[in-house]
Amino acid sequence: MIQKFVQSALVFSAAMSAPAMAQTGMVAIPETNSGDSAWILTASALVLMMTLPGLALFYGGLVRAKNFLSVLVQCGAIAAIASVIWIVIGYSLAFSVNGNGFIGSLENVMFNGLLDSVREGQTTGELAFALFQMTFAIITPALIVGAWVERARFGWVVAFSALWSLLVYVPVTRWVWGSGFLADQGVIDFAGGIVVHTTAGISALVVALMLGKRIGFPRTLMLPHSPALTVAGAGLLWVGWFGFNGGSALAAGAGATAAIMNTHLAASTAALIWIGIERIRIGKATSIGIVTGAVAGLATVTPAAGYIGPMGAILLGLLGGSVCFFLVQVVKHNWKIDDSLDVFAVHGVGGILGSLFMPILFSEMFGGGGFAEGANVSTQLVAQLVGVVTVAAWTAIMTLIAAWMVSFVIPMRVDEEAEHDGLDLHSHGERGWELD
């Protein structure tokens, strides 16, 4: 073990100093493209910013003041636990070269062997790729926070997120992005419509059903305590999504540019559609509406951002903004499910819509790049449908199991008194806002 540690330290030192490599005889890191590497590192920072502080502020502004701090702490704790799991074992199980179509091997535990390697077909070091993927592993369980705000026990949140990462996120990533069996069947997901948004959305629905409604839902009006913070958080999400989708091109070139352009266009279109519907239904365009619409557009375009043209991005924005708007009403008012911050209706539905409509938008008629040899609309649509259904079913079952297992040790929900007082004081002994 000591010898292995010393060897790793020597490799790291060699990477930091080219002259030293020549003197010691160490093997150099394979040549990489510095521009592509810089872009992936920048994109990694942008995606991390989406969670901290983007998503934390977005969700935090939507809850009541007495629960604001709890949302921030939950997002931070999930980022920490997901990072450790990803580095220790998650990346290896998802992306190792060896293993099988269902799960990877343990060859890259603790990021072993990544410093001096480059994945086939990429121009950046594998360590940079692993870092970029870590930010996706962080934000995916953090998205689920919106389903349990104001009533979930903090210890349960952390333990569930850790187990969920291993049982849901890691295997699904392997299947779709890690040369797994779904990838072999032709399933395509550019930046996470299936891997991120479908898994988070389905899990949010399952957890909301298991946890039950907040006290007073739906009779009591539970208004956002700070729409201004939500708008600020949404702005960080919108900008960070350029790294989310643009970085998924894995190079600083035309592919990244197209992905960023399509991302922005879909978000803009969906935001306009959302407030347009609001204006018709309630007579006013709201701040919460415009940013929720933008996020719906962002989620919807994510699986297709690098494969479609501007027309396709606009169509996905129209689809995401309108369908997600009505699904919010259906989940809350028709199904009476307290998915408190609309994770399923916005992220889950958006990701599924984008994944299933992607094959149609591949057509050159819509500005897409066309299909690979041997593929067409019908074959690709079947592949996407198989991918969505498989991932949704696995996610629902594993989420149920993970939540149930953790609840044996840590109860899922705080008691009625704690919920009434707010989680800021009950869970953390602090107030988000000192108003006295």
Residue with more model confidence, 352 or 5: 352
pLDDT for 374: 72
What mean pLDDT value characterizes the chain?
Answer: 92
pLDDT for 11: 36
Instruction: Please determine, for residue 21, whether its predicted confidence score (pLDDT) is greater than 50.
Output: no
pLDDT (tens digit per residue) in 54-75: 999 999 999 999 999 999 999 9
Cα–Cα distance list, 356 to 52, 197, 199, 362 (Å)? 30, 13, 15, 11
What average pLDDT does range 395-424 have in this prediction? 97
pLDDT for 29: 60
pLDDT (tens digit per residue) in 30-41: 689 999 999 999
372 exposure class (CB count in 10 Å sphere: 0-12, 13-18, 19+)? exposed
Cα–Cα distance list, 355 to 61, 206, 244, 255 (Å)? 29, 21, 16, 19
pLDDT (tens digit per residue) in 259-293: 999 999 999 999 999 999 999 999 999 999 999 99
* Domains of the chain with CATH codes: 36-411 (1.10.3430.10)
Cα separation, 51 vs 48, whole angstroms: 5
Cα separation, 286 vs 149, whole angstroms: 22
pLDDT for 364: 78
pLDDT for 17: 36
